Amino acid sequence: MTYCIGLRLNKGLVFMSDTRTNAGVDNISMFQKMFTWSKPGECAITLLTAGNLATTQSVVSILDERTKAYSDREPSIIEQPSMFQVARLVGETLKEVIALNADTGQKASTAFNATIILGGQVKGGEPRLFLIYPEGNFVEASKDTPFFQIGETKYGRPIIVRAYDADMSFEDAVKLMLVSFDSTIKANLSVGLPLDLLVYENEQFEFSHQHRIDADDSYFNTISSGWGDALRKAFHSLPNFKFK
């Protein structure tokens, strides 16, 4: 499993992903699930992936190849005129890779499906956030639904629903995501540290912050232990129940 969040704020976009992949509980590995492309002053794009690792790595490799020098490697993800076109390119690539695997002679018991969060900004347009399905189609985040989660989404959802605010600072958004990840990591062995964090500030066309939060990160550990106490306090602050 996996857990990734993409959050749309008024100031920009914030992303976080875990790095654990597993095929059974006794076969776990660490793989990055966050990928970025940028062309300073022109565009900054990121993908967060969940699902079959062979599928998502293949999608990223194909997109990556296309950004290399050779002029015949078209279409390039960093040469698209809009985020909508980027989403179409990623969606089509994803759909093709899945179709290719599904058609091979070898049959696997697992599905080759994958889901992708796409975010970023292309010059001339707004920063945008998309959720791309294995079928290649996609939906965009809006004011009503300003964030997307993929993978093991349930444990960490209630706190985002309650504490998200479009006007929040990047720092608060990171704190919120860490709380959400902490609840998930505590409940599900298939989501694990380290976490990758990425921040995009509107109209910068490059990522402002990108860093990895390891198991020994002191801030994460403060949040992890502090959240238990904070939750218990919150719980006790509610009015008491009385039997009638």
Closer CB to a second copy, residue 46 or residue 58? 46
Closer CB to a second copy, residue 41 or residue 226? 226
Closer CB to a second copy, residue 77 or residue 179? 179
Shortest distance in whole angstroms from residue 235 CB to a second copy: 5
Residues in contact with a second copy by the rule CB under 8 A: 154-155, 157-159, 161-163, 170-172, 174-176, 178-179, 183, 186-187, 199, 209, 211, 219, 222-223, 226-228, 230-235, 237-244
Closer CB to a second copy, residue 100 or residue 231? 231
Shortest distance in whole angstroms from residue 7 CB to a second copy: 14
Closer CB to a second copy, residue 68 or residue 233? 233
Distance CA(86)–CA(63), nearest Å, equals 10
Tell how many helices (H) and how many strands (E) occur in the chain: 5, 12
Shortest distance in whole angstroms from residue 159 CB to a second copy: 6
For residues 159 and 173, the answer to whether their CB atoms sit within 8 Å is no
The four Cα atoms 29, 59, 187, 28 give a dihedral, to 10 degrees, of -10
What residue has token string 């062995």? 189
For residues 160 and 174, the answer to whether their CB atoms sit within 8 Å is no
Residue ranges of alpha helices (H) inside the chain are 53-65, 83-102, 157-163, 170-187, 218-237
Closer CB to a second copy, residue 99 or residue 166? 166
Shortest distance in whole angstroms from residue 82 CB to a second copy: 29
Q: Report the first-to-last Cα separation within the chain, whole angstroms.
A: 45
Shortest distance in whole angstroms from residue 22 CB to a second copy: 18
Shortest distance in whole angstroms from residue 197 CB to a second copy: 9
Distance CA(74)–CA(57), nearest Å, equals 19
C-alpha dist (Å) from residue 44 to 59, 79, 89, 119? 18, 11, 15, 8
C-alpha dist (Å) from residue 126 to 38, 84, 91, 129, 153? 15, 10, 20, 10, 27
Shortest distance in whole angstroms from residue 220 CB to a second copy: 10
For the chain, the C-alpha Rg in angstroms (whole number) is 19
Closer CB to a second copy, residue 112 or residue 220? 220
